[in-house]
Amino acid sequence: MTLLQRPLLVLLLLVTHHLLQCWIAFGSVDEEGQKQEEFNEELLLKPLPDRKVLAHFHFQSSAPPSTSNGRHHHLFPKAISQLVQKFRVKEMELSFTQGRWNYERWGGFDPIASSNAKPPGVELWAVFDVPQHQVDASWKNLTHALSGLFCASINFLESTSTYSAPEWSFPPSSGNLRYGTLPREAVCTENLTPWLKLLPCRDKAGLAVLLDRPSIYRGFYHSQRLHLTSTGSGSKGTDSGIILNQALTVVLQPIQPNGLRASMDHASEKHIQPSWSLSSIFGKQVRGRCVLAKSSKVYLQLDRGLVAELKRIHKENEKSVANGLTSENFWSYPSFELSANPDRIVIEENSLHSKSSSILYNFQVEKYSESEPLDLGLTWKIPVVWLCQSAPLHSSRFLMGSGNERGAIAISLKSTQLREGFMGAFADNERCELRVDVFQVVPWYVKVYFHSLQVFIDQQPKAVSDVIEKIHVSPSKDKVSPGMMEMVLKLPCRVKSAALTIEFDKGFLHIDEYPPDANQGFDIPSAIISFPNFHASMFFLEDGSVNKSPLLSKFQEKSPVMSYTEVLLVPLTTPDFSMPYNVITITCTVFALYFGSLLNVLRRRIAEEERFLKDKATKKTGQLPLLLSKLSAKLRGRPWEPPHSPPSTSFFISSKLVFKVILVAGLAVGWQYYFS
Amino acid sequence: MAETKETSEKDEKPKPRVRPIVRLGIFLISHSVLVSVVCCTAGVLALFLLPVLAKNTYISENALMPGSASPMLSYQHVSDGNRLVKDLTNLDLKSSETGIESQRVIAQYMLELGAEVSFHKFHAQLNQFHPLHFFSSPDSGVIQENFSCSSYGINTVGIIRAPRGDGKEAIVLVTPYNALKSGLGEAVSVGIAYSVFSLLTQVTWLAKDVIWLVADSRYGEYAAVAAWLRDYQIPKFSSLSTLNSEMCPDINNLYDLKVNSIAGSKYSNSFRRAGTMAAALVLKVGDQSEQYEDTISIYAEASNGQMPNLDLINVVNYLAVHRQGLRVQVEKLWSLLNSSWLKSLGEIFESLGKVAKSLNPEWKFGIPATEYVEGTATLASSLYYQALGVPTGPHGAFRDYQVDAITLEISPKYSLDKFRRNDILLRGGRLIEGVIRSVNNLLEKFHQSFFLYLLTSPSKFVSVGVYMIALALLIAPLPMVAASLYVDANSLDSKTNKSTPSTIADTAERGITIRSWRWLYSAKLVFAVHVWGAIVSLLPYFICQIPDCSSTISFMIWVVLSMISLLTLYSVLASPFSCNNASQEKEWALVKSVTISYVFIGLGLMSVINFATAEIGALLMVPMCLLARPLKFDLRAGSLRSFSRMVCNLVLGLIAFPPAAFFLLKGMLEDFGSVNIGDFWMWVESLWAWNSATYIFIGMVYLPCWVLCVHILLHTC
């Protein structure tokens, strides 16, 4: 019996364990059948054309609006929900970025590049659900709260001179939006750790295990984002639902086993993309999902250009296999090899761009365990060359001029060759117009002259009114608010290059407004260039699984193509910071001279002095003082008068003294000279 | 003295006490001769003492940390560089007629490293005289309508983006390369840059972007770099200035470059930029040096005597000497090295230093005589090149945009054969790597160390606080002498007036007021000569419009026109030989007084703009101005003193004439045989082509002063 009971007991234990797990995972089962708190973790890997690999972690926690739990949550981070409730945040995005997104090589059109590429440093924007006059106060409090939460100096965004309120150009346009950036903020693990703490499994289980600090900070681009939307409707903040999206995008260089150098010598191997696996780029493997996650998936994405190229190569090589590409046979093509079999293959439904569609291989992490970890790897067999799809216009921004007085900011837009593909339909149309939104914030000490805005299209100067459809400018106020410029440009579709220039004067700061490293220069935050005509979204076949995946549904969202320009560095005049010392010295001298002479004037009685001098003059004088007095008389520019000679006694003593001093000095010199 | 007599006359009146500072001033003015002799001697002596007073350089900015990291440049990178050198030299044998091929090879190599590559086409711009463009910021160039394809130059630009940097700052590395007739040296310099570049694509410490500019030096190194910088800093967006490459077929060929696939990088037609430039290095490899070591020469002087931050030179010097074992040198005037008087002066200083040291071991200002001579030669060349105001290399173009830059020229010990080449590539490459790494460490731009200094050796400098003393001493007597001359002239007149007893007090009063304004006549003369100076300095602009004019003829025209204009102005405004009036007897003293004050103002202003010019100008002008006295008086006096003064005046008047001074200096430094009259014109042309403030100084201060001095010498009354 006991023998029989034991397996039963084990079975029972197992069952309860499972149940417990389910219970933890899905939260408490509510009677009304409300939606539960959910957590999803996903990882998207994508080979990039310049031998690098993009890894995009996406964690979504959602808390449905419910009053049942009170202030408690099962999975959702309490810190965030408190933040949302306290400051009535409707939508907020905070990003910490190190490095620059390379729009030319890594693409600028897909959802990752468009909505996850962020400017270096910290960027924060938030929409508040409060009356207009309370927005600034809420923003200030929010920055302080976030600053403490993420160990970053976000509190510098509190000052009114650092943030702005875009009216309509920033994509989630709304009246209560505040936007601020800190381009110089350094990003490191101290910011990542609090970010990971918001995850239910932190980095102890699930996909977040891969976030090995040395390997992700070795990368070429590193951006951690926190985006939250509160869907609450009621005026009371307690019953709002919150969706928290945490995304971390890194671009890593796979380490080759034999090193890049060695393979460079062989011409054939030269063009082969490096092979990589999760363990080679992160140094870790996925050992099962986070048990609290509803879904845990790994995707491998081959983007449109790569798929098209692979198809072309395949067609050249094997004429016989003429049948079209299907999702089933594609991954078994001989051009590359995956170390694990994908569970599903999702192909983008290509409606707009006829060229090709990207492919996503889906790997379910549930299937892997401690003993059998997921170490997804990609091994290239043949050299492949492709280009990522870039935004319709490549934008860059730079400073013009030199010197400490004035300069100009130029934004140059250059058409990318790839544009013909999706503009082809409209290209014939003469009236076709390409809309470009520009949003730019400049600090107050860069005094922009908005009247000096010049527009050049295809190297021809154009009237501003012809090109700019809509412009909103809020000029800067010294030490109060930054200058902000929002513009809608209408460019002809066939435009090859366009340039905007605007001149500025460099202002002067008060000495205590200079940062510690003032001689580096001052930053002008990135401008945002967006193309509302184009949407960086992917369409997938309507399928149950796609809807379940927050990452893919995020990709499906229609959002305009956006790109950030470079941060600019403006050298301003800096004072000599050692000057205070000099100033103190010189003021002290001046004061001493002033008070000395004032005292002299107040104290002295001239008539009495003359009488005193005459008294003394009656006494006898020596020979040397006589000469001296003659000399001094000459110095004064007066004829010498014998009675004016100074007292003999003091002079006699002094001459004796001088003689003695000279004698002693001479002796000392002689002694030094002969005895050393 | 006259002054004391004057005061004794007024002694009866109760006189308020004069303040000490005023008394001191009056004392100095009354002894102006003694003061001026003492000050001038001290000024010249201070100048010669500068090599003794030079301090050792030290790295002021702690963030630079030169040499604290071990160099990462390996033989692998060197062999890559060597491969490029071989390819380039092989190309040369194949005689590519346009040199496009070598640009293409370099670009291909850059692409393979994964750098962003672009070509920059520029049109060689002739240096032209813009009278109003002195001191103005560099303009974006004159738009030339009629250009031809033949006068294009193509710069190749490669940019490495710092992997984790924010791209706000950039370091520029320039290698001039003339594809048409490149020596091995140029190819090796490209090879060194390439080996460093290939290392920098792999390193993780890079915080600033690195720009490698292969400047097409077929129209001169400076022109190529300046053209690129102009397009970098002040681009023109309208089509007139951009070169449309469609018109020139061979440039289009350049874009047939294969898109390199591995790195996903491709060349681009557009102008590529990185952020604000932090520093720039121009690298050249010279021919075999006559020295017994591998040497590296540093050229730092930019336009108008501007110098890069001393820390940049310090870093190069430190790394070259202490890490790579290269011998560093800055330019010297070689002819001074063998001069015996300098040697004996050095020996005197040395013995003085020894005596001082024996008195107190703490006093260490004595330096060996040979070191003194070398220091003086370096100082003289430093002064000369700063005074000239013409940049000594392509680095000068950067300084116009407030970017610190120097030119490094490596001269190897042996010829650049295959084995030695690797060594040069390795050591040169490690030096460049170290400098780039130091600048990369820099958080702020260069600001810690000196900008105003003179070098006496690569590791010794004289800072502004020390060298200003020499000039200050030289020009200090000028205002005193001017004041004393003015007082003198007035008092003499008053004496003559007093001799006529019939004058009543009222007229005397009026006479004094009139007399006190008499200097205005002299001022008018000085002003007229000044205007003439302005005209003379504008004349070359019109003369160079004359087509087909050799330099000698131009010079002649210039001289003739100047003479004519001088005579016209004289006859119109001020006649020097009209002294019919007895009251104008002391006219020359007033003219001298006004001239001296004018010279003082001119020198003071110039010392702010370009110290070296002011110093050299002061050395010539101050004795000339102070000694000037009508020759007639000296002839009349006939004493030995007046005779020697007359001789001095004549000699100084001759030497100080600008062309004479130029020819004398040129003859002394080079050879009298090679002196050509047209050389002066060429020299002047180079001055205004480089927008040198020295030209303005010579035209507006120096030449008028000389003319006025000659005017005083020839004064007849």
Q: In this complex, do A402 and B233 lie within 8 Å of one another by their Cβ atoms? A: yes
Q: Which of B20-29, B80-89, B233-242 has the lowest mean pLDDT?
A: B233-242
Q: What is the pLDDT of residue A237?
A: 44
Alpha-carbon separation of residue B687 from B134, B607, B690 (angstroms): 11, 18, 5
The residue-averaged pLDDT of B190-195 equals 93
Percent of chain A residues topping a pLDDT of 90? 24
Residue A228 pairs in a beta bridge with A92, A244
Give me chain B's average pLDDT, please: 81
Q: What is the pLDDT of residue A250?
A: 93
Q: What is the pLDDT of residue B238?
A: 72
Same structural domain, A611 and A562: no
pLDDT band at A526 (very low <50, low <70, confident <90, very high): very high
Same structural domain, A529 and A651: no
Residue A439 pairs in a beta bridge with A486, A528
Q: In this complex, do A98 and B4 lie within 8 Å of one another by their Cβ atoms? A: no
Sheet holding B152-160, edge to edge: B267-268, B116-123, B152-160, B209-216, B169-177, B276-285, B404-411, B295-299, B327-330
Give me the domain span that covers residue A488.
393-570
pLDDT band at B258 (very low <50, low <70, confident <90, very high): very low
Q: What is the pLDDT of residue A425?
A: 47
Same structural domain, A449 and A549: yes
Alpha-carbon separation of residue A360 from A286, A357, A366, A540, B261 (angstroms): 19, 10, 18, 10, 24
Size of interface A-B (CB pairs under 8 A): 144
Same structural domain, A561 and A491: yes
Q: What is the pLDDT of residue A314?
A: 77
Report strand pairing: B295-299 vs B327-330. parallel
Residue A429, H or E segment: none
DSSP B103-130: HHHHHHHHHHTT-EEEEEEEEPPPP---
Q: In this complex, do B137 and A401 lie within 8 Å of one another by their Cβ atoms? A: yes
Q: Mutating which of B262, B358, B464 best tests the A interface, going by the most A Cβ atoms within 10 A?
A: B262
Alpha-carbon gap, residue A362 to A368, rounded angstroms: 13
Q: What is the pLDDT of residue A25?
A: 43
- Max CA pair span of chain A: 141
A291 lies in some domain: no
The residue-averaged pLDDT of A193-201 equals 92
Q: Mutating which of B80, B232, B237, B276 best tests the A interface, going by the most A Cβ atoms within 10 A?
A: B237
User: Quick one: tokens of B531?
Assistant: 């205007």
A593 lies in some domain: no
What is the domain count for chain A?
Answer: 2
pLDDT band at B262 (very low <50, low <70, confident <90, very high): very low
Q: What is the pLDDT of residue B209?
A: 93
Q: Nearest CB to A400: which of B112, B202, B233?
A: B233
Of residues B96, B86, B91, the one with CA closest to residue B253: B96
Chain B, nearest residue to A107 by Cα: B264
Given the cut 0.95, state whether the ipTM is greater than it. no
Q: Mutating which of A100, A272, A389, A644 best tests the B interface, going by the most B Cβ atoms within 10 A?
A: A100
Report strand pairing: A522-524 vs A568-570. antiparallel
Q: In this complex, do A566 and B275 lie within 8 Å of one another by their Cβ atoms? A: yes
Q: How far is CA A658 from the centre of its chain?
A: 73
Alpha-carbon gap, residue A394 to A414, rounded angstroms: 5
More confident residue, B245 or A535: A535
Question: With 0-12 CB in 10 A as exposed, 13-18 as middle and 19+ as buried, what is A15?
Answer: exposed
Q: Which of A545-549, B249-253, B337-341 has the lowest mean pLDDT?
A: B249-253
Q: In this complex, do B270 and A220 lie within 8 Å of one another by their Cβ atoms? A: no
Q: Could you give the 3-state DSSP secondary structure of residue A638?
A: coil
User: Quick one: tokens of A62?
Assistant: 């959602």
Q: Are A382 and A272 in contact (CB under 8 A)?
A: yes
Q: In this complex, do B445 and A519 lie within 8 Å of one another by their Cβ atoms? A: yes
Alpha-carbon gap, residue A108 to A393, rounded angstroms: 10
More confident residue, B127 or A3: B127
Domain(s) of CATH 3.40.630.10: residues in chain B: 74-125+152-331+392-451
**Which pLDDT tens digit goes with each residue over A436-495?**
999 999 999 999 999 999 999 888 888 888 888 889 999 999 989 999 999 999 888 888
Q: What is the pLDDT of residue A259?
A: 46
Alpha-carbon gap, residue A554 to A112, rounded angstroms: 10
Å between B638 CA and nearest CA of chain A:
32
**Which pLDDT tens digit goes with each residue over A267-325?**
445 567 888 888 888 988 888 888 888 889 899 988 888 888 888 877 777 654 444 44
Could you tell me which residues come within 8 angstroms of residue B705 by beta carbon, excluding any fewer than 6 positions away? B595, B598, B599, B602, B621, B624, B625
A472 lies in some domain: yes
Q: Nearest CB to A270: which of B204, B262, B402?
A: B262
Q: In this complex, do A519 and B444 lie within 8 Å of one another by their Cβ atoms? A: yes
Q: Is the pLDDT of residue A672 over 60?
A: yes
**Which pLDDT tens digit goes with each residue over B461-514?**
999 889 999 999 999 999 989 988 888 877 765 555 544 444 455 566 666 666
CATH of the domain at A407: 2.60.40.740
The residue-averaged pLDDT of A629-641 equals 64
Chain B, nearest residue to A522 by Cα: B168
Same structural domain, A565 and A612: no
Q: What is the pLDDT of residue B596?
A: 92
Chain A, nearest residue to B262 by Cα: A271
DSSP B544-555: TTSSS--HHHHH
User: Quick one: tokens of B558?
Assistant: 């210039």
A626 lies in some domain: yes
Alpha-carbon separation of residue A103 from A388, B130, B506 (angstroms): 9, 43, 90
Same structural domain, A477 and A551: yes
B11 contacts on A by Cβ (under 8 Å): 638-639
Alpha-carbon gap, residue A252 to A52, rounded angstroms: 6
Out of A512, A547, A570, pick the residue that ends a domain. A570
**Which pLDDT tens digit goes with each residue over B566-594?**
888 877 765 544 554 545 567 788 888 99
The residue-averaged pLDDT of A248-265 equals 66
Out of A570, A595, A626, pick the residue that ends a domain. A570
Q: Provide the b/e sequence for B499-513 (b: ≥16 CB within 10 Å).
A: eeeeeeeeeeeeeee
A27 lies in some domain: no
Q: In this complex, do A461 and B238 lie within 8 Å of one another by their Cβ atoms? A: yes
More confident residue, B86 or B519: B86
Q: Nearest CB to A571: which of B4, B355, B445?
A: B445
Q: Mutating which of A519, A564, A568, A610 best tests the B interface, going by the most B Cβ atoms within 10 A?
A: A519
pLDDT band at B28 (very low <50, low <70, confident <90, very high): confident
Q: Are B536 and B563 in contact (CB under 8 A)?
A: no
Q: In this complex, do B239 and A459 lie within 8 Å of one another by their Cβ atoms? A: yes
Could you tell me which residues come within 8 angstroms of residue B511 by beta carbon, excluding any fewer than 6 positions away? B497, B503
Sign of CA dihedral A29, A30, A31, A35: negative
Q: What is the pLDDT of residue B640?
A: 85
B235 contacts on A by Cβ (under 8 Å): 400, 410
Chain B, nearest residue to A405 by Cα: B137
A493 lies in some domain: yes
Chain B, nearest residue to A500 by Cα: B237
Domain B74-125+152-331+392-451 bears CATH identifier 2.70.70.10: no
B15 contacts on A by Cβ (under 8 Å): 638
